Amino acid sequence: MRLLHPQNVEDIALGAAVLGTGGGGDPYLGKLMALQAMREHGPVPLLTLDEIGDDDLIVPSAAMGAPTVLIEKLPQGDEVLHAFRALEAYLGKPAKATMPIEAGGLNSTIPIMVAARLGLPLVDCDGMGRAFPEVQMVTHTLYGIGATPMAMADEKGNSVILNTINNRWAETFARSITVDMGATALIAVCSVTGRQLKEAAISGTTTLCETIGRTIRQAREDKRDVVEAVRQVVGGFRLFHGKVVDVQRRTETGFAKGEATLEGIAEDAGRRLVIHFQNEHLIAMVDGEMVASVPDLITALDSDSGEPVTTEGLRYGFRVVVLGIPCNEKWRTLAGLAIVGPRYFGYDIDYRPVENRFGL
């Protein structure tokens, strides 16, 4: 057990944007709420998976909806607590801790706020190891753990409990309710026992976010190459160094889809990278050849500042280094690839681990 202090939260938010792979929502708002809760309630205990009891109830907390709406209609602040309490009441058992369901983006910091305000510890793990757009895309699904019963709450005081036959249905219903709630909802989802969590979760991801964020901060202070420092700490690979020359966007089935085209510079001069995205970056192709795909992480960093660039922030003239980062092994199974592999997202492409191209 260790305590998370405000500086840790700053680092976690910065690192979470790297694991957001272009999506996941800006961690800024969650960070502000977490910092505010910490000012009022003090630091948050962070537990490793080993430190939780097998029979403890762990309830992840998160925001769901359109990141572009969330930056305009800010949460009231208590709705995630309402969702959390509603689920506890439904389960008839108090939670021993909360955790992020998604390490990348906004949802890395929301549970820190919940933990501070409810006086609960946070568990150092998540269900994605990155950001994904849909509810069922959690490692819990691979271990037969239901996303439901799931509680959703809005700022007006409404809350809803969902019970579904599988996690795909949880996504379907929750998406509709989120739209009715104003395109954002706060949720308590994928509740588990400690025993289940030790098997199903991806361990240590809050600490990983923090390490990435701290690395970026320190590399900037020391005037070192920020991108290279990040690459080392995440065990990633440089896929491309280039400048954004075109971005095409469209909305399909409620998602922001599109392609960004980058022209190579320096060592990649004369080559062309196309990133296909659906909220998050899904596929990277160099001169027509796939170099990385989901579930591996494809993340774009500003080549000078090392600042992670989101899909909505991608625009003409941005100079970025695109990193490929191996995903967690759980996603590389047949069951994992069935729910988050390239084919799920509509690309007729076989997944190939990103490191294979580099002879590993």
Partner 1 sequence: MRIGIDVGGTNTDAVLMDGATVLGAVKTPTTSDVGEGIVRALQLLRTETRFDPARVTAVMIGTTHFTNAILERQRLMPTAAIRLCLPAAERLPPMVDWPEDLRQAVGAHTFLLHGGHEFDGRVISPLDEPEIRAVARRIADRGIRAVAITSIFSPVNPSFEEEAAAIMRSEIPEANITLSHTIGRIGLLERENAAILNACLGDLARRIVRAFREALSGMDISAPFYLSQNDGTLMSAEFAEAYPVLTIASGPTNSMRGAAFLSGAAREAVVVDIGGTTSDVGMLVSGFPREASAIVKIGGVRTNFRMPDVYSFGLGGGSIVQTDPLRIGPQSVGYELTTKALVFGGRTLTTTDVAVAAGLAEIGDRNAVAALDPQLVQSVLDEIHVRIAEAVDRMKISAAPLPVIAVGGGSILINESIEGASEIITPEHFAVANAIGAAIAQVGGETDRVFALEAMSRAAALDQAKAEATQKAVAAGAEPATVHIVDVEEVPLAYLPGNATRIRVKAVGDLLQT
Query: Quick one: which segment of 138-146, 149-157, 207-215, 344-352 binds partner 1 (CB under 8 A)?
Result: 149-157
Decide whether 119 or 144 has the Cβ nearer to partner 1.
119
Q: Which of 69, 89, 335, 338 binds partner 1 (CB under 8 A)?
A: 69
Answer whether 68's CB lies under 8 Å from 26's CB.
no
Given the complex with partner 1, which of 191 and 279 has the nearer CB atom? Answer: 279
Cα distance between residue 274 and residue 290, in whole Å: 9
Residue 143 engages partner 1 in binding (rule: CB under 8 A): no
Q: C-alpha dihedral over 126, 64, 46, 27, to 10 degrees?
A: 100
Residue 39 touches partner 1, criterion: CB under 8 A: no
Quick one: which segment of 11-19, 50-58, 73-81, 331-339 binds partner 1 (CB under 8 A)?
A: 73-81
Q: How far apart are CA 6 and CA 108, in angstroms?
A: 14
Among 22, 75, 121, 341, which residue interacts with partner 1 (rule: CB under 8 A)? 75
Does residue 29 bind partner 1 (CB under 8 A)?
yes
Task: Identify each DSSP E strand in the chain by its residue range.
Answer: 2-4, 44-47, 57-58, 61-65, 122-123, 125-126, 150-153, 159-162, 184-188, 192-193, 202-203, 237-252, 255-264, 272-278, 280-286, 289-293, 297-302, 319-325
Between helix 6-19 and helix 205-221 the angle, nearest 10°, is 100
Distance CA 277, CA 299 (A): 11
Rounded Cα distance, 234 and 296, in Å: 12
**Of all residues in the chain, what percent are helix, strand and coil, respectively (each to 5)?**
35, 25, 35
Structure tokens at 9: 């939260």
Q: Please give the angle made by the CA atoms of 90, 165 and 190, to the nearest 5 degrees.
A: 50
Using CB under 8 A, pick the residue from 92, 288, 317, 359 that binds partner 1: 317
Rounded to whole angstroms, how far apart are CA atoms 136 and 26? 21
Interaction between residue 319 and partner 1 (CB under 8 A)? yes
Report cis status (omega within 30 of 0) of the bond before 326. Answer: no
Q: 318 vs 351, which CB is nearer to partner 1?
A: 318
**End-to-end Cα, the chain, rounded Å:** 35
Q: Residue 147 CB, nearest distance to partner 1 (Å)?
A: 17
Applying CB under 8 A, the span of 8-16, 68-76, 94-102, 199-207 interacting with partner 1 comes to 68-76
Residue 7 in the binding site for partner 1 (CB under 8 A):
no
Complex with partner 1: residue 78 or 199, whichever CB lies closer: 78
Is there binding between residue 313 and partner 1 (CB under 8 A)?
A: yes
Among 11, 88, 102, 155, binds partner 1 (CB under 8 A): 155
Interface with partner 1 (CB under 8 A), residue total 48
The footprint of partner 1 on residues 255-284 (CB under 8 A) is: 255-258, 263, 265, 269, 279
**CA nearest to 210, candidates 202, 220, 218:** 218
| 223 near partner 1 (CB under 8 A) | no
Encoded one letter per residue, x for contact with partner 1 by CB under 8 A and - for no contact, window 172-201 reads: ---x--xx--xx------------------
Stretch in the footprint of partner 1 (CB under 8 A) among 50-58, 67-75, 136-144, 219-227: 67-75
Cα 25 to Cα 14: distance, rounded to the nearest angstrom: 12
Nearer to partner 1, 181 or 202 (CB): 181
Q: Is residue 204 close enough to count as binding partner 1 by CB under 8 A?
A: no
Count the Cβ atoms, other than its own, within 10 Å of residue 92.
6
| Residue with Cβ nearer partner 1 (179 or 274) | 179
Q: Which residues inside 112-141 make contact with partner 1, applying CB under 8 A?
A: 133
Binding-site member from 48, 312, 332, 349 for partner 1 (CB under 8 A): 312
Binding site for partner 1 (CB under 8 A): 23, 29, 32-33, 36, 65-69, 71-78, 133, 155-157, 175, 178-179, 182-183, 243, 245, 249-251, 254-258, 263, 265, 269, 279, 304, 312-313, 315-317, 319
